[in-house]
Structures are given as C-alpha cells and as structure tokens.
DNA sequence: TGTCATCGGCAGGAGGAACG
DNA sequence: CGTTCCTCCTGCCGATGACA
C-alpha cells in the first residue's frame, strides 16, 4: 500500500504551527486547516482518493508525533478516545471535498440511472428516496374498491374540473375525495425516476399545487398538519425572533420594521398571533433585503 | 463599508460493502 | 442475514475576497 511509502511534508508545515509543535501548544484553527490542506494535497499526489484507513494512518502518525498540538483532548488535557479521530475525520472530509464532482476517482461506482436531457446528452441521476419524517412515502395498496384504472379515471376527472372551475374547486367534496383516494397514484408519480418536472405535476395533478392540495398531501405523507405546526412554531418562537432582531441595532431596515405598527399580521384580530407574525415578517423581510425569494 | 459570489468545513442521511 | 462500517452526496453556513 502506498501509505507505507508516504512521507508527510513536515517541511511545509506553517511557521506558526511549527512553533506550536515546539512549545507544545494547541494548533490554531487556521493553522490546523492549512496543515490539513497541505497533507491532503501531498496524499493526493500518490493517491487521488485516499480512503478512511489511509486518513486514519496519517492522522495517527501526526498525532503520535505532536500529541499536545493535534490530539483530541478534553479541558483537563486528557486524551479523548484514540486521540486522532477528529484529525482523521477532517482529513477524510477534506479529501471528499476536493474530490467533489471528480467522477473518475470514485472508489464506489454510482448506480447508473441515465436520463436524457433536452440537449440530447445523457446524465446520471439519483432517484429520490424515503426521507426523514415520512410515514407514507410509497404506499403499496390502492384504496378499497379502487383499481389502477379507476384512479386514472379520477385523475382525469379532477384535472377536467380544474380546467373548467379553476383552483377554487379544491374545496369541493368530490375533488377532495378524489385527491384523497389517488394519494398512492400521486406518490408513485412523484417518486418515479427520473422525477417529473413541476410542469408535468401541474398538468397531471393541478390541485396538488394549491395550498390545500399541498397541505393535505403533506399531512398524509408525514402525519403532520403543516398549518397547525407553523402556527404553533410562531407562537413559541416569535418572541425569540423579535428579541434577536431587537439586538440588531446597526441594521436600520430592521429597526424601521420593528418601529412600524404591526400591519402585516394575517390574523390581526388575534393579539396572541402578533409575536409570531411579526417575527416571521422580520425573518422574511431580512431575506428580502439581500435577495429575491424564488 | 456594505454587498455579493465563491470557497471550504462540517453535519448528517442514504445506501452499498464488509463483517460476524 | 442482520448489523456495522464506509463512501457518496447534499445542504448549510462562516470565511474570504472582489467590487462598487
């Protein structure tokens, strides 16, 4: 293995870090970062994509030579664990970062799922997978009394209703019922690989892109009522958000917003909602100072 | 001095490989 | 075959530098 021949470039160690090793001081964060870059760069001269074992070995050597400067320590200067875990992890992270988008040097070849793009070229894509918090990502059973054909009929029906009646029809009981029953059909389309574009989703499931359609779908997907959850979050965190912005005394835009009477609350009749609504407005207002929200 | 774009470090999830 | 380990990947955010 190349690691047995590898020579750590001690001569390239930053002067201030060298001084720290001589005096037994901890490495300054910037020196530590700089040193990691130097070491990884040297490793990559012999191996473009060093694996974890290689990073472990190098970190072990560095820590064994200068333990008081590099080893994992607690506040009482006692070594934590193997002592070189953090440095090894950071070296590996640096390797991964440098190798971002470097397809040729991957240790594991990615699963190939080719997708032809508009310009005719093919590219590999990863399918979307079950994500944290979902309880109904890819349902398997169609609702009782339904078939694939009946679900497709329902989809066509509600798409036609959208065409004639518009998005407000989302509140109609028959639309609600069909949206609920076709949830499995919606999920299978959304989870397909390559994933559908927004335009395709809009064409197939126009009501899904209404506020109610999204909220209902989200609730079935995660079991969470997003409207209730946002309201609760604003209740509990709104005051804290305002406190934060009140400390931003240098930003005149924020202070101007704080000084304004609250005319932005969508539920102005409820005094209890004010901290949350004001906090949310400030949060978004701050974003809008710098960039558009897409 | 403030804004913006880019870089780089880090956390954490997904999933394949290795292991017992 | 289930569990653990490791790699790949992505998003977030602070640091940094260019520029007005």
pLDDT tens track for A276-292: 555 555 544 433 333 33
| Protein CA A111 to sugar C1' C5 (Å) | 20
Has residue A137 been placed in a domain? no
- d(CA A101, C1' C9) / Å: 10
Residue A256 to residue A155: CA distance in whole angstroms = 49
- Domain limit, last residue, from A163, A194, A222: A222
Share of chain A above pLDDT 90, in %: 13
Spanning CA of A229 to C1' of B14, the rounded length in angstroms is: 27
Considering only A42-51, A155-164, A244-253, A274-283, which range has the smallest mean pLDDT?
Answer: A274-283
Of how many residues is chain A composed? 294
Instruction: Kindly state the tokens that stand for A226.
Output: 């997003």
Whether any strand B atom is under 7 angstroms from the Cβ of A291: the reply reads yes
Q: How does residue A207 score in pLDDT terms, banded at 50, 70 and 90?
A: very high
| Strand B: positions under 7 A of a protein C-beta atom | 2-5, 8-11, 13-17
Is A264 inside a domain boundary?
Answer: yes
- Chosen domain end from A82, A101, A120: A101
Which of A70, A101, A132 is the C-terminal boundary of a domain? A101
Indicate whether A283 belongs to any domain.
yes
Return the closest nucleotide (C1') to the Cα of A127: B14
Nucleotide nearest to A33 (CA to C1'): B9
Count of domains forming chain A = 3
User: Confidence class of residue A126 from pLDDT cuts 50, 70 and 90?
Assistant: very low
Task: Please indicate, yes or no, if residue A140 is contained in any of the structural domains.
Answer: no
The three-state secondary structure class of A124 is strand
Strand B near-CB residues (< 7 Å), A 234-273: 250
pLDDT at residue number A124: 37
Q: Which pLDDT score is estimated for A268?
A: 36
Tell me the residue range of the domain where A169 lies: 148-222
Name the one residue in this structure whose structure tokens are 């440095």.
Answer: A87
Looking up tokens 């930053």 gives: A14
CB A94 within 7 Å, strand B: yes
Q: SS3 for A123?
A: strand
């Amino acid at each position: 293995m190349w690691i047995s021949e590898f020579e750590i470039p001690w001569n390239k160690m930053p002067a201030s870090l060298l001084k720290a090793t001589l005096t037994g001081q901890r490495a300054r964060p910037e020196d530590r970062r700089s040193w990691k870059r130097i070491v990884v760069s040297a490793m990559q001269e012999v191996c473009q994509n060093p694996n974890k074992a290689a990073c472990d070995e190098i970190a072990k050597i560095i820590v064994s030579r200068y333990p008081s400067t590099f080893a994992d320590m607690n506040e009482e200067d006692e070594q934590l664990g193997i002592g070189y875990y953090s440095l090894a992890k950071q070296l590996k992270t640096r390797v991964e970062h440098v190798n971002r988008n470097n397809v040729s040097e991957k240790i594991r070849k990615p699963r190939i799922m080719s997708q032809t793009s508009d310009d005719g070229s093919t590219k590999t894509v990863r399918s979307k997978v079950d994500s944290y918090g979902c309880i109904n990502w890819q349902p398997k059973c169609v609702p009782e009394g339904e078939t694939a054909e009946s679900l497709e009929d329902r989809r066509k029906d509600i798409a036609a209703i959208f065409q004639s009646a518009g998005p407000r029809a989302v509140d109609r009981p028959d639309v609600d019922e069909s949206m609920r029953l076709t949830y499995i059909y919606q999920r299978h389309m959304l989870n397909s690989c390559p994933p559908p574009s927004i335009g395709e989703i809009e064409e197939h499931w126009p009501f899904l892109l209404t506020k109610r359609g999204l909220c209902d779908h989200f609730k079935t997907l995660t079991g969470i009522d997003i409207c209730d959850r946002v309201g609760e979050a604003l209740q509990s965190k709104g005051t804290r958000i305002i406190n934060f912005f009140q400390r931003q005394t240098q930003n005149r835009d924020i202070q101007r917003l704080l000084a304004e009477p609250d005319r932005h609350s969508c539920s102005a009749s409820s005094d209890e909602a004010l901290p949350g609504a004001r906090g949310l407005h400030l949060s978004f207002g701050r974003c809008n100072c710098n960039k558009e929200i897409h």
